[in-house]
A and B are shown apart, each in its own frame.
Chain A
Amino acid sequence: MLTYTLRKLLMLIPMLLVITFLIYVGLELTPGDAVSYMVGPDALANMSQEKLNELREALGLNDPFIVRYLRWLGRALRGDFGYSLTSGVPIKDIVFSRLPATLELSVAALLFSTLLGSILGMASALKKGSIMDVSLTVAGMIGVSIPQFFFALVSILIFSFKLGWLPSGGRTMPGYTTFLDRLPHLILPALVLGITMTAGVMRYSRSSMLDALSKDYIKTARSKGLPEWRVNLLHGFRVALTPVVVLVGFRLPMLIGGSVVVEQIFQWPGIGKEFVAAVRGQNLPLVMMIALFTVTAVLVASFLVDLITALLDPRIRLE
């Protein structure tokens, strides 16, 4: 178990290297560079070639690709992620200032979707074929198949413009001090993000529960004279839980990476929105930092999923 954990953690290092390198290559292939974004188009047209070159030299953009990558890597290893090319603010500060907003939104959505999704899925499986089951199945299919941006726009249209109940975007306003002040801003994005995730968890836990309920050991449990709640929860749900936990586990990276689409539409000042801005601005150091963050989160999450499934299912042994 301990050796497994250690080996898994050591494996993260080469994976991170390869992935960061690939992202660096990808960004290199995109047209333009930070200078063309930093300097306005008018100024760019008037600037002399020497001046531009000077600027590029100062930013280290003229060095060969591999040198730039290694330089970035060396600094990153020392904990220095550099400065934003567009604003000059240390990247660490940018990311850590965005993180609370992203965490707030994704923790809300993840909790809401996991709890609601697994409860609805279980109820649906227990009452298979009932009106509730059929309508939940239809709702689940709709939730899974309609894209988030559509949900987001429709909900803004209805709840902000037509009804005026909730703000259409942003996270905070001047004069807001407590979480409760911000809560109205959180509701819409969290619901939109949560709904598609709920639908997924629900569909998944329903089929997983149905599978568990059809097993022979359910009949054995009944034959011992156990009450129905115990049969359904301890023998049905407990076994059905494993695949649902895996699904939720793979959503954990969202906690750090944020949701690009939802944050963008609701102008939520989280990491996802920052990421879009950074890619557009060819802001290489910032893109790399966020990518590194997200990749690490994905790798750690898959490691956690392994550990949790081994804890939940005694047949799985980590070796």
Chain B
Amino acid sequence: MTTTPISPRALRWARRRQSFTRSWNAYRSQRTGMIGLVLLGAIVILALAAPLLIDQSQLSVTQATGERMAPPSAGYPLGTDEVGRSILALTLWGSRLSLLIGLTATVVAIVIGTALGVTSGHIGGWYGWVALRVSDWFMVLPSLVVAIALLAVLGRSMSTTIIVIALVSWSGTTRLVRAQTLTVQARPYLERARALGAGHWHQMSKHILPNVLPLVLASATLLVPSAILMESSLAWLGLGDPNVVSWGSILNRASNNGAVSAHAWWYLLPPGLAILLVVLAFMMCGRALEAVFNPRLRGEQG
């Protein structure tokens, strides 16, 4: 029998798989985290399956068939809106937009935040100082004010919404990643890599980035819910893309068409509860992940 030499690449992957299994086991032991994950899975499946469950034509204002602002009935289990569309259909389809915008904005924010965090921590000097000051500045500003101001001048569309939300969300990640980068930098193996002549790019991509990624993912899980909340607030204020249906825009129509004074609870509850559930599910997952990757919090299980 001959033993094949293990390539460094295979070794690295084996190590990563091993650390993933360890993290997963730590995550699995937390009940709230698992509840959040199941909840999230259910919501994502419903959002993906929306076209199979309810035809998109039901969202059309002109083809609406139901009575106006009618309470739940057999044909419309969650009632209808002011033009006679099914609230159930709107809420189900709204989930796609809310999730899409929340996730995309978070990804953009995370990419900006991580890039600035790693480079400012690694390169340091004037560049690092300026990057830190700018992210501090963004952290202090009231995010909704900045978002409203930008949307007011940029115009309303899905892409501007995403850009604006990302712009007000990246700063926390920069701070976190920078701190972690500084910690990793101080470790002996990075010193060894430097001594062996590793360039900045090699150090950042091969050594620092893999070390900060788990933390970044954990914090991203907590960024998604705030992005979703921000999107819903903006859409409710009327700053969302007028051509699409999101939970916030449903509630915007509800407000504008007197759903509260008409006591139309069925119009208000489904989209609002949907936002609450998604945000809650992400928060539960995020807190559990934080406990996995931040050993100081590991006592917090339950």
Is B one of A's binding partners? no
Binding site for A on B (CB under 8 A): none
Chain A positions near chain B (C-beta within 8 angstroms): none
